[in-house]
Amino acid sequence: MTYLGIGARVLIGVVFAVAFVGKVRNRKAFDEFVRSTRAMGVLPSALVRPVSVVVVAAELLVVLALAVPTREAGALGFGLAAALLAAFTVGIAVSLTRGKRASCRCFGGKGTPLRAHHVGRDLALVAVALVGLLGTLASAPVDPGVAVVTAAAGALLAGLVVMLDDILALA
């Protein structure tokens, strides 16, 4: 595993952990996530709740896979993360194109309206997941001190991703 793989593993793992916990912290949070998914107008109504359950389960699987420090688990976690993020990107883009005003319940928070920066955020995370996949598949000696710094940088970047809506609201 390379330093890019370590940093990406922490970044994607933390982002998906916050997303999972934000959606399942209580019944109301999950119901709000389902409502926001329905308001996007991308899925047939009958599929909204089942797809929402699958999304939450897949987010947990990403977190668990990335927590296991093996090449295979990392590949699974990054591959699933990239696929989910690509689907989120397409769903948000389609919703915006149709003029829908759904709330972003990505992290279970207060729900700011979906906007173009959500598409950009998810595209950037797809790129991080793909870089992480490559970094996980690569084999290189790792200095523990540098690995800790790289992991801390990944956690810091994850915090910025999670707080992006709040940061943009300050502008």
> What's the pLDDT tens digit per position in 19-39?
999 999 999 999 999 999 999
Residue 35, Cβ neighbours under 10 Å: how many?
15
Q: What is the pLDDT of residue 92?
A: 95
- Name the pTM for this structure: 0.92
Sorting pLDDT into bands at 50, 70 and 90, what band is 101? Answer: confident
Q: What is the pLDDT of residue 138?
A: 86
pLDDT at residue 108 tops 90: no
Residue appearing with tokens 């999950």: 30
- For the four alpha carbons of 129, 130, 136 and 141, in that order, the dihedral sign comes to negative
Question: What is the rounded average pLDDT of the residues 8-18?
Answer: 97
Q: Identify the helix (H) or strand (E) that includes residue 24.
A: helix 3-24
Q: What is the pLDDT of residue 64?
A: 98
pLDDT at residue 153 tops 80: yes
CA–CA separation, 7 vs 25, rounded Å? 26
Angle between the 71-97 and 45-67 helix axes, to the nearest 10 degrees?
Answer: 150
pLDDT at residue 67 tops 80: yes
pLDDT at residue 49 tops 80: yes
CA–CA separation, 114 vs 144, rounded Å? 40
pLDDT at residue 91 tops 90: yes
Q: Identify the helix (H) or strand (E) that includes residue 154.
A: helix 144-162
